[in-house]
Amino acid sequence: MNPNKEPYSIGEAAKLIGSTVKTIRYYDEIELLQPSNHTEGGHRLYTTQDLWQLELITTLRYLNFSIPDIRKLMSGELAVAQALDLQILKPWKPRSAR
């Protein structure tokens, strides 16, 4: 797979960022990140910019940020410094306990 090729299918995007197709579809369904384009057949197509945003979402989820907080960060409603402060103040929960 050529990492400089664009656009990327959902499968290629998932593989490049180390996620799953199911997770990326979920982000589209909840309108956290929608693909930049679709094929004539309706398949999702992602740009390099989309991949950067998906990578950011994946990293923030790994750091236990909630979907609402990620949405606020991505929209600019919540500053990064403010989000980090809120995250530090949250009690830690293992991923399996959520």
User: pTM of the prediction?
Assistant: 0.78
Which residues have CB under 8 Å from 92's CB, separation 6+?
64
Q: What is the pLDDT of residue 36?
A: 92
Tens digit of pLDDT for each residue in 55-95?
A: 999 999 988 889 999 999 999 898 888 888 877 777 766 66
Q: Structure tokens of 21?
A: 């197709």
Tell me the average pLDDT across 44-60.
Answer: 94
Of 82, 12, 2, 90, whose CA–CA distance to 44 is shortest?
12
CB contact at 8 A, 39 and 63 = no
